[in-house]
Amino acid sequence: MKRGYFITFEGGDGSGKSTQIKLLQDFLTEQGYHVLLTREPGGTAISEKIRDIILDKKNAEMCDMTETMLYAAARAQLVQQVIKPAVDGGDIVICDRFVDSSIAYQAWGRGLGDLVWDINRHAVGDYMPDLTILLKLDPMQGMKRIKSREQDRIELSSDDFHRKVYEGYLNLEAMDSDRIKGIDASQGIDRIAEQIRDLVEDLINR
Ligand code: TYD
């Protein structure tokens, strides 16, 4: 059976990932592809439990290393249990966030640097997405967009943290431009969706 594709979405909080993921899922399903949608942290029963611990506002004392390892633990489970089998079986897997989030949020945002890659190498090995869509939006604009909803422990971090996360994403995009494709997320929803479809069609027709 032909292998499927592994596509991830990345971006700061409030960058509009959920809307675009839904539009891409509908588009690909209409085209006859079998699409599996999942998210990080989460996507398996174990990983969803880890998610609850990570994002719980009551866990304000959580140290950065614990946070990093919990994300990696949730990821290891998701890759083994869901992503790999689905892609091997021919599905298009769309994942809301993946290891790039840990690089942006923990390596850059929390300032843990290279050891975040070291930890994640154990979690994902060399299993990386075929394509990563990065929705680029000024972090302060992103925070403004999510202000009206209840925020989780990570979203409640300082403005300076969110600025560093964004810087981390820009660095990742520059370092791995073959895989990571940045899109200006301040554009209209339809215009963004069109660019994402073009990138995914390029991948499938490659
Ligand atoms: P979520 O509600 O899924 O946010 P979003 O809808 O913006 O994706 O919460 C995930 C939060 O966890 C988000 O603030 C980003 C953060 N995160 C990390 O800090 N490191 C990681 O490795 C991952 C996957 C997420």
Record the tokens describing residue 113, joined without a space.
């640097």
pTM of the model: 0.96
Q: Which residues of the chain register pLDDT less than 70?
A: none
Pocket of ligand 1 from Cβ distances under 6 Å: 13, 17, 39-41, 55, 71, 96-97, 101-102, 105-106, 152, 154-155
By C-alpha distance, which of 100, 113, 38, 36 is closest to 71? 100
Among protein residues, the one with the nearest Cα to ligand 1's atom 25 is 101
Q: How far apart are the first and last CA of the chain?
A: 18
The pLDDT score that the predictor gives to residue 64 is: 97
Determine the Cα–Cα distance for residues 75 and 139; give it in Å rounded to an integer.
Answer: 25
The pLDDT score that the predictor gives to residue 148 is: 87
Per domain, the residue ranges of the chain are 5-205
The pLDDT score that the predictor gives to residue 118 is: 96
Q: Helix, strand, coil % (nearest 5) of the chain?
A: 55, 15, 30
SS3 98: coil
Closest ligand 1 atom, CA of 12? 7
Q: Is the peptide bond before 139 cis (omega within 30 degrees of 0)?
A: no
CATH classification of 5-205, choosing from 3.30.420.40, 3.40.50.300, 3.30.70.1060, 3.20.20.80? 3.40.50.300
Determine the Cα–Cα distance for residues 156 and 148; give it in Å rounded to an integer.
Answer: 13
Instruction: Find the largest Cα–Cα distance for the chain.
Output: 48
